[in-house]
Structure 1
Amino acid sequence: MKKILLPALKAGMLVGTLDILAAFLHYYLATGKNPLFIFRYIASALLGPAAFSGGTEMYIAGFLLHYLVALSFTLFFFWLYPRLAVLRKNPVATGIFYGLFIWSVMNIIIVPLSRIGRFPNTASGILISASILILAIGLPLAFITRHYYRRQQ
């Protein structure tokens, strides 16, 4: 486990960054507003409405929470990959599956249990958020993890 920690942390930082940049871009294009608001929204998962009236500390809390979640999903994938042979068959299918898995866990379990309550669930919102998770996290993780484990053999 110690051996995969640094590569997994690097991968988690990468996919976390890709994910937040995609979310920033989508938010800005959809609203024309400052995308840093997303960090307050993320912080509100733990802190509730107070996150929207706080200062810099709320941006930092959202930033840290975002990367904690991204790193958690990355570490889980690095742990799971060698244990499920089906994940090693096709990295594109694996990336799509894992992106949809993340979307499902976040929307069915994590967010409803948070102080946010639930994401907006319009058809376009679901499609956009699932696509972001597939493209920014699922696919990169599938290829990075595949490359890592092939180099270990």
Structure 2
Amino acid sequence: MKSKSGTIFLSGLIAGTLDILAAIFVYAIILEKTTAIKILQSIASGVFKKEAYSEGLQMAWYGLGLHYLIAFIFAWFYFIIYPYLPFLKKSTIISGFLYGILVWIIMNLIVLPIAFPVLPEKHLDFPLLLSVTILMLFIGLPIASVTKKYYSLR
């Protein structure tokens, strides 16, 4: 991790990969609620709406690309704010978990309601806690870890 852009790319790539694999593993394999293709199409539907579900594999690829774009944006944002917020440097685990919670808040209370004006009401239940936990472990923690490593070498 010699460059800023390389660090952002690496942390976004790791976080995006872990997050999508966790979503597929939990929702498609363990809970059998959907398929990997449908998960990716649902991401694409944020841009392409209902068309995302009728265009097959192509929309799944668009969904995967959009998923990584979002992961890279969150990685970039954490990288930018890291030097200005001293508490992020104290504990990688705590700051990663807090960032995962922030990502959940941004995605579920801002981004998704804009993309999908009609969403089911949220309840403090297992699915909600599971989605927050996935983002804490597979988005927040990897981004915080890779970013800390970059800045600690400076």
Q: TM-score, normalised by structure 2?
A: 0.91
How far is the alpha carbon of 1:142 from its aligned partner?
1.4
Q: Which residue of 2 aligns with 1:48?
A: 49
Distance 2:3 2:120 in 1: 36
Runs of 4+ with deviation above 4 angstroms:
none
Relative contact order, CA 8 A, sep 6+: which one is greater? 2
CA contact (8 A) 1:48 1:116 kept: no
How far is the alpha carbon of 1:83 from its aligned partner?
1.0
Alpha carbons of 1:56 and 1:36: their partners in 2 closer, same or farther (altered >3 Å)? closer
| Aligned 1:1-153 pairs, distance under 5 A | 3-28=3-28, 29-31=30-32, 33-115=34-116, 117-118=118-119, 121-122=122-123, 123-152=125-154
Q: Provide Cα deviations, 1:104-146, integer angstroms capped at 9, x if missing partner.
A: 0000000000037436734111101000000101111112111
How far is the alpha carbon of 1:20 from its aligned partner?
0.2
CA contact (8 A) 2:89 2:148 kept: yes
CA contact (8 A) 1:47 1:115 kept: no
Distance 2:136 2:120 in 1: 17
Let me know the Cα RMSD of the aligned residues. Answer: 1.7
Among all aligned residue pairs of Structure 1 and Structure 2, give the percentage whose two residues are the same amino acid: 36
CA contact (8 A) 2:10 2:146 kept: no
How far is the alpha carbon of 1:90 from its aligned partner?
1.1
Report the secondary structure of 2:3's partner residue: helix
Q: Which segments of 5 or more consecutive residues in structure 2 lack a partner in the other structure?
A: none
Alpha carbons of 1:69 and 1:120: their partners in 2 closer, same or farther (altered >3 Å)? farther
Give the aligned residue type for 2:150. Answer: Y
Distance 1:81 1:22 in 2: 26
Q: Which segments of 5 or more consecutive residues in structure 1 lack a partner in the other structure?
A: none
Distance 2:144 2:6 in 1: 17
Q: What is the aligned residue count?
A: 151
How far is the alpha carbon of 1:82 from its aligned partner?
0.6
Alpha carbons of 1:45 and 1:117: their partners in 2 closer, same or farther (altered >3 Å)? farther
